[in-house]
Amino acid sequence: MELLLGTFQGMGADIASAWRFFSLVWYVVLPIMFYPIFLLLWVDHIQIKYAGTIEYVLLEIFPPQNLEKSPKIMESLYSAMAGILSTFNVLEEFIDGKFTTKFSLEMMGESGVVHLYIRTPKPYRNLVESHLYAQYPDVEIREVEDYIYDVPGVMPNKEWDLWGTDMQLVGPDPLPIKTYDFFEEDITGKMIDPMAGLIEALGKVGMDQKTWFQIVIVPLNESWSKEGHELVEELAGRKKKVKKVSVIEGVVGGVGEFAKNIIPALFQQPVWAKKGEEKAGEDPLDLRLTPGERKALEALEANVGRNVFKTKMRFVYLGRREQFNKSVVSSFIGGIKQFADMNLNSFKPDNTSKTFANFFARETRLRYRQRKIFRRYKDRDTDGKTFILSTKELASVFHMPDMVVQSPYLRRVDAKKSSAPANLPV
């Protein structure tokens, strides 16, 4: 008993000594410990404050009736958007909270009509309009009220239900999706516009039902291409993928390698491999790559040289409960699968954001997910998983639909506009 009591007394004395020491150095230790958390919270606070000063406008785009242009034309607009990328100094970034502003490319279907929108910061409205008019002279652009206010502010509720998901890439970011140059008919050479499938999927909804498709993009600087070039080197066989191992794995592996080679070393002189020595008789790269690998390597190299954007893509389906039909979701997923290439990359729903829940507290967790994705859609934020898309990839997914898209759901320019004749009497 005395021994136990003495032990507790010793522990108490140690704790008292530690507390006296901590009371002398806390003002040095605590700031260092909590600085990363403070910085994260501070940056989040000042960026929210700065974001509140940015004005946005929503522009509805009405494609021309007889458009005969490839999606490649749309790349000029995205290249111009990439030009707004700004570099901020330390004071601007950590005191003023400045960051590169974002654009949002959106498609909305309601009651059998599909609308195309571009949401842009107000200072860059002229940039968007001028590039669209330059490439599509007959396009019509109108500033409209935000359609997100056409539904109740709290979703879901007793009358409305919601299903939504963010999208993610199946493969690594640098690998491109199937782009517009792959959508070409073999016999006639005519383009098969992938927008046709998306418009049909978004437009096939009845009264009091809405489909929202959103692509939020933020320009990135050229440093991202390092990852792309590394993947090119790996696919070309010039750089081997090195697996990271822990210290314990390295020690165990080294002991195992030593034990495996110690006995043969007693009977023959070891041969040391020369650094950088090439394997004799190694086939050229063209012979080592399969057709699929060659195609992926060519597409990857072409994609690395373009301007890119950090991208958040999401889809939301809303409707009154009595007409709510989740088959709309399957139609959209089928439409977005057009951009899939198993040798390259493709989109898929992100399970961490998808509005479903199983097992315990199912109803509560489902409502939380539904309200979270609804709020993020309205805010056009980039929270959650993002990926990188180039100007070519964006032009493939969101562009002015060609005249071959004869969908009754798409709103186009009603009549061609032209200037008055110069010889009219005044």
| pLDDT above 80 for 8 | no
What was the pLDDT predicted at 261?
Answer: 64
Amino acid 412: pLDDT: 75
pLDDT tens digits for 360-370? 888 899 999 99
- Per the listing, tokens 């759901």 go with 409
The residue-averaged pLDDT of 175-200 equals: 82
Return the structure tokens found at 59: 């522009």
Token pair for residue 407?
Answer: 């969908």
Contact indicator for 328, 203 with CB cutoff of 8 Å: no
Residue 74: which pLDDT band, with cuts at 50, 70 and 90? very high
What is the structure's pLDDT at 323?
A: 87
User: Any idea which residue has 């242009």 for tokens?
Assistant: 69
Position 165 confidence tier, pLDDT thresholds 50, 70, 90: very high
Question: 23-27, 99-103, 265-269, 319-323: which range is least confident on average?
Answer: 265-269
Residue pair 413/63 in contact by the 8 Å Cβ criterion: yes
Question: CB neighbours of 63 closer than 8 A, spacing ≥ 6?
Answer: 116, 136, 139, 400, 401, 410, 412, 413
Q: How far apart are CA 175 and CA 343, in angstroms?
A: 9
- 276 has pLDDT over 60: no
Structural element, H or E, at residue 141: strand 140-144
Model pTM score: 0.79
What are 8's strand-pairing partners?
Answer: none
pLDDT tens digits, residue range 126-157?
Answer: 999 999 999 999 999 999 999 999 999 999 99
Judged by average pLDDT, the poorest of 154-158, 233-237, 310-314, 333-337 is: 233-237
DSSP string computed for 216-275: EEEE--GGGHHHHHHHHHHHTTSSPPPPP--HHHHHHHHHHHHHHHHHHHTTS---PPPT
How many whole angstroms separate alpha carbon 246 and alpha carbon 391? Answer: 39
Q: Please, which residues bridge with residue 383 across strands? A: none
Whether residue 378 contacts residue 148, with contact meaning beta carbons closer than 8 Å, is answered with yes
- Run of H or E including 8: helix 2-51
Banded model confidence at residue 237, pLDDT cuts 50, 70, 90: low
Q: Which two tokens stand for residue 332?
A: 């959209």
Nearest-angstrom CA–CA distance, 78 and 391: 6
- pLDDT score, position 94: 85
What is the predicted pLDDT for the residue at 414? 67
Q: What is the DSSP string of 298-331?
A: HHHHHHHTS-EEEEEEEEEEEEEGGG--THHHHH
**392 vs 30: CA distance, rounded Å:** 49
Of the listed ranges 54-63, 204-213, 236-245, the one predicted with least confidence: 236-245
* Two structure tokens written together for 18: 């530690």
**CA-based nearest residue to 369, from 102, 166, 173, 217:** 166
**Cα–Cα distance measured from residue 331 to residue 235, given in angstroms and rounded to the nearest whole number:** 35
What per-residue confidence (pLDDT) applies to 24?
74
What is the rounded CA–CA span in Å between residue 258 and residue 214?
Answer: 57
Question: What's the pLDDT score for residue 294?
Answer: 74
Looking at residue 236, what is its pLDDT?
A: 64
Q: Distance between CA 354 and CA 361 in Å, rounded?
A: 16
325 alpha-carbon distance from chain centroid? 27
Q: Tell me the pLDDT band of 59, cut-offs 50, 70 and 90.
A: very high
Q: Are the C-beta atoms of 344 and 167 separated by less than 8 Å?
A: no
Single-letter amino acid code for the residue at 202: L
* pLDDT of 15 strictly over 60: yes
Would you give the DSSP letter of residue 420?
A: P
Q: In sequence order, what DSSP letters do the residues of 318-385 get, joined into one string?
A: EEEGGG--THHHHHHHHHHGGG--TTS--EEE-TTTSS---STTHHHHHHHHHHHHHHHHHHT---S-
